[in-house]
Structure 1
């Protein structure tokens, strides 16, 4: 009889146990309003869902919130189905999860971007201010007018973190630059107000802003759409006393359409994306080699946070009824660099951003949250 090595027996046992856990795990994800392909918060979460399916073999049920009331409806639906784990997207879920978790002690709940109450709940949060400082620094270095804009979704502690970090980054790069901040509202509806964001972007351009950072969920598409449509800002449009200070796109090839629309003394308009890498959304002529209107994006690794909490559940690890935070130190936030914006974020600026990142991680730079 062939003797099987003890180590192999143990390995096979672990594999079988892991497979059984994966097959038996029941997980539900409740998305926020805005759709799976919002190119922002929800889409980043869906990337985590797909990774879970591929690497862990777990089939996750996903509930799409269409209106505000759907958030709690989705949480309660999965609770009634006795899911092992329910993951929700956004701080607006905190109260609904706290209430439902009290009524469903056999289910674990995780909220991305908030810390709910209860022994069977967990918060997966991000230090958005750190990633926002990086993109703010890039904006301060690259602005042609010395005026940049910030469009926030719902005026809240979370979104103020984005704005505070961004403003601090801009000022660190350019003490004389001006940051103009606007918010879309005081309710969750502000995260799905594309028309409102478009209007705010137009107002910021009128005040001389040539770079606009949108931290507004699906509403950010309004800022992106405006920037892509307007393309540039003219010297004649600048407020009194404001002059162009540089032209970072002087050596970047431009499409014939851009050259025609922006002839004369002009500078390009740029947006800064959020949550996902949205750089490619600024490619108006489907050619990455020509001028792109996405300066960069502040990326939150929402997919990683979602994968981590599902993996712990599937592997049977002890439940962490507390807050897990993702920042620069553990790769939770970053700025996007790719073929679409490499000419806009040159090597010299990349090197500076690397140093800035280390200064934040080592707390030499203390990034504000409000």
Structure 2
């Protein structure tokens, strides 16, 4: 509780300062008829430095700053308990667009967004709906299906593992897609799913990775935010085991030991939302970013492609195309 109170205090000071500066700038810019757009990014727990979806969204915001001249602010809640207050304070500040990252924002969005009809909000993989809320719906299940197929075809032990941050629908999309893809490529594969219970606990993530290795998993896919860093530490200490990264290209983290990464281009969506808000083309509703739209996909496997047989790569590409063509339907837990 003390940490949350301290976080909110610092957040309030920061937002008031930013808002005050923005007001001064707006007054001066009104004389020239121009205003600088202001956008706020509120991360999921784990914050920046997760080398995952938070960092990816931040890349989109930085790109908007450089290419569009947008003023940006990043807010990093310490826990989900801070979500509601973070969003309220941001909504009361002088931002033209507020974007939240993470699939656990529905409660806060449903509470705050309807009360600020003149503000523009954006989110990723949430179920919330509002006239002023745009949602980027990444087909995590599709991308996970493809890397699951690769894991299955490359596994020598016949067992692969999954590490999720939380046992929630947004993460279960990865888990279900991964398992379905693995079993589509090899019906006899064993898939072991686990959940850390946090997106910000690398030590616990490592413990889960070691446990999966002990149970025979020789390829492990993580969708756990900063907790997923623990998998990479475990890879350094265990021969014959490979990992699969998530959200960004994480292949470089342990060169030659991260088989591939299931990339989710959150940064592209973030940039798109800001650009649309700036140009007056922002619209509410859901925009799908799937395999067909290149919203999700595999990394180029820069450090591992030479150890993957050509026939395996061909099979995986064929499976990817089957999903795009609709010949294979991957379960989306969001539809349940």
TM-score of the alignment, normalized to the shorter chain, above 0.5 = yes
1:256-285 CA-partner distances (Å, limit 9, x unpaired): xxxxxxxxxxxx1111111111111112xx
Query: Aligned residue for 2:316?
Result: 353
Question: Matches of residues 144-163 of structure 1 in structure 2 within 5 Å?
Answer: 144-163=156-175
Deviates more, 1:130-139 or 1:60-69: 60-69
Q: Which runs of 5+ in 1 are unaligned?
A: 1-18, 233-267, 284-291
Question: Matches of residues 118-267 of structure 1 in structure 2 within 5 Å?
Answer: 118-185=130-197, 190-230=198-238, 232=239
Q: Identify which of 88, 91, 96 aligns with 1:84.
A: 96
Change (3 A) 1:40 1:333: same
Whole-Å separation in 2 of the counterparts to 1:277 and 1:227? 16
Whole-Å separation in 1 of the counterparts to 2:38 and 2:213? 48
1:207-253 CA-partner distances (Å, limit 9, x unpaired): 111111111111111111112122x2xxxxxxxxxxxxxxxxxxxxx
SS at match of 1:150: strand
Is 1:324–2:336 an aligned residue pair? no
SS at match of 1:91: coil
1:340-361 CA-partner distances (Å, limit 9, x unpaired): 1222334433332222121101
Whole-Å separation in 1 of the counterparts to 2:69 and 2:210? 46
Whole-Å separation in 1 of the counterparts to 2:76 and 2:260? 28
Q: Identify which of 296, 300, 321 aligns with 1:333.
A: 296
Query: Aligned residue for 1:63?
Result: 75
> Higher helix proportion, which one?
2
Whole-Å separation in 1 of the counterparts to 2:176 and 2:307? 24
Q: Identify which of 270, 288, 297 aligns with 2:242.
A: 270
What's the offset of the Cα at 1:138? 0.7
Change (3 A) 1:219 1:81: same
Say whether the 8 Å CA contact 1:85–1:310 is kept in structure 2. yes
Greater Cα radius of gyration, structure 1 or 2:
1
Query: Aligned residue for 1:47?
Result: 59
Deviates more, 1:129-138 or 1:90-99: 90-99
TM-score if structure 1 supplies the norm length? 0.78
Say whether the 8 Å CA contact 1:82–1:106 is kept in structure 2. no
Say whether the 8 Å CA contact 1:295–1:344 is kept in structure 2. no
TM-score if structure 2 supplies the norm length? 0.85
1:303-331 CA-partner distances (Å, limit 9, x unpaired): 011111111101001x4221111100111
Whole-Å separation in 2 of the counterparts to 1:324 and 1:40? 21
SS at match of 2:104: helix
What's the offset of the Cα at 1:195? 2.2
Aligned residues: 302
RMSD: 1.7
Q: Which runs of 5+ in 2 are unaligned?
A: 1-31
1:62-98 CA-partner distances (Å, limit 9, x unpaired): 1122233332232222211132110000122222122
Whole-Å separation in 2 of the counterparts to 1:191 and 1:222? 11
1:112-152 CA-partner distances (Å, limit 9, x unpaired): 12132321112211110110011111101111111100111
Is 1:294–2:302 an aligned residue pair? no
What's the offset of the Cα at 1:29? 0.9
Say whether the 8 Å CA contact 1:115–1:322 is kept in structure 2. no
Whole-Å separation in 2 of the counterparts to 1:32 and 1:26? 20
Query: Aligned residue for 1:10?
Result: none
Whole-Å separation in 2 of the counterparts to 1:229 and 1:71? 36
